[in-house]
Amino acid sequence: MATISLEQEINPWEAQAARFDFAARKLNLDEGLWRVLRYPSREIIVHFPVAMDDGRIEMFTGFRVLHSQARGPGKGGIRFAPDVSLDEVRALASWMTWKCAVVNIPFGGAKGGVICDPRKMSQGELERVTRRYTCEIIEFIGPEKDVPAPDMGTNEQTMAWIMDTYSMHMRQTVTSVVTGKPLTIGGSRGRREATGRGISIVCDEALKHLNIARDGCRVIIQGFGNVGSNAARLMSDKGYKIIGIAEYDGGLYNPNGIDVCALSDYRQRNGSVLGFKGAEAYDSNDLLIADCDILIPAATENVITSRNADQIRARIICEGANGPTTAVADEILADKRIFVIPDILANAGGVTASYFEWVQDRQGYFWKEAEVNQRLESIIAESFDDVVRYSEAHDVNNRIAAYMLAIDRVAFNIKQRGIYA
């Protein structure tokens, strides 16, 4: 591979495009379809004013990118963060297209974001930003158009505000405009734990595939938010040994296993994992390269790069976050024969449960949690098998196999539908 700068390596859009191009080439994808699928179908940038608590008027910038509607409405989260960029949002929208296709649910990919720091904003300011942003993009979202969901910096309350704002403009209650809502207004049981549950399911399948025992299997998780904490709890309950937790402000390590429930309680009380007595303090970057069986990056993009990939000692990497591994790092991991469960498969439990929520809202009939979990396990396990079979049949790594499978499915839909002119 040609030498590239670290800035190029960690650009999420370039990383996504590199994987797409490689997979499309392997598929001998028609040149016209290649161009259709390589670029988003719609990119929206909005600038809007919001009155802050102290009386100032602040201008905010928001994005909403729709990558594809070939298989159904757009689907994707809304991110509130100070470093949100158009490149990041368009990459995440593309990943959502491939993710939905890998698990074979009838959505295309979309993503949104607002440049802001929710940690420095009051609840009232967050509500005003959310409602104004919703108004700015309202004609482009809807149950049959594009269905937002929570992401970094947003949550169930954010989705409730979006749903209410949309419903007020439509003059009717439209619960299916977003997913990830509170249970009382059309949310689904099992949705909050779904991404973490999906991670635990693909880890189970990987151990079966590689003939590795589950009991005592050593796991390090980077990120202890919704995804990481739920994955840790569910996997601990199954007999995995969680030996390390890495957070942005520091990490924890205990070779004998961390009591995940006690750590969750501690973090809830203190707002941080630091100071937890059940493990020793450990540098978060060092945890990524510590000896373990499974490494789960479950926080942000670009944590495994050309700078640390050759030092990673995990046997399995299960990508709970979107884009945690750069394309250059992929080659290094492949040379080391590390079994990578790619993000568009590993963290697809969330969008699968979002699909269930959308279905239930449209039916007006809600499922028991056991039914949600059973359906989720069936889809994720089947998708894991599809990707591994594709990998073996085409002699490519799991990531490229997942991309090839997804691109093949989306391209087939476009060919069936034809190009409208």
What size, in residues, is the chain? Answer: 421
- Mean per-residue pLDDT, 183-199: 96
Strand-pair partners of 46:
62
- Mean per-residue pLDDT, 270-299: 94
Q: Which of 14, 25, 3 is nearest to 403 (CA)?
A: 25
415 is catalytic: no
Set 111, 208, 277, 368: catalytic member: 111
Strand-pair partners of 47:
61
Which pLDDT value is given to residue 278?
93
Helix axes 86-102, 398-417, angle to 10 degrees: 80
CB-based contact 217:241 (threshold 8 Å): yes
Name all domains of the chain by residue range, CATH numbers in brackets: 40-185 (3.40.50.10860), 194-346 (3.40.50.720)
In the predicted model, is pLDDT for residue 173 greater than 90?
yes
pTM of the model: 0.92
CA angle 371, 143, 164 (to 5 degrees): 95
What is the C-alpha separation between 388 and 209, in angstroms, rounded? 9
Residue 177 DSSP class: G
- Mean per-residue pLDDT, 188-201: 96
CA angle 134, 136, 142 (to 5 degrees): 55
Strands 250-253 and 42-51: unpaired
In the predicted model, is pLDDT for residue 342 greater than 60?
yes
CB-based contact 149:78 (threshold 8 Å): yes
Token pair, residue 362, equals 């449209």
**Residue 1 confidence class, pLDDT cut points 50, 70, 90:** very low
* Model pLDDT for residues 382-414, shown as the tens digit of each residue: 999 999 999 999 999 999 999 999 999 999 999
Arithmetic mean of pLDDT over the chain? 95
- Mean per-residue pLDDT, 301-312: 93
Token pair, residue 33, equals 């379809």
**Residue 16 confidence class, pLDDT cut points 50, 70, 90:** confident
Which pLDDT value is given to residue 13?
83
CB-based contact 396:331 (threshold 8 Å): no
What is the C-alpha separation between 137 and 60, in angstroms, rounded? 14
CA 402 to chain centre: 15
What is the C-alpha separation between 170 and 139, in angstroms, rounded? 10
What is the C-alpha separation between 114 and 374, in angstroms, rounded? 35
- Mean per-residue pLDDT, 86-98: 94
Token pair, residue 262, equals 């006690």
Which distant-in-sequence residues (6+ apart) come within 8 Å of 237 by Cβ?
none
Which pLDDT value is given to residue 3?
59
Percent of the chain with pLDDT over 70: 98
Helix axes 349-363, 86-102, angle to 10 degrees: 80
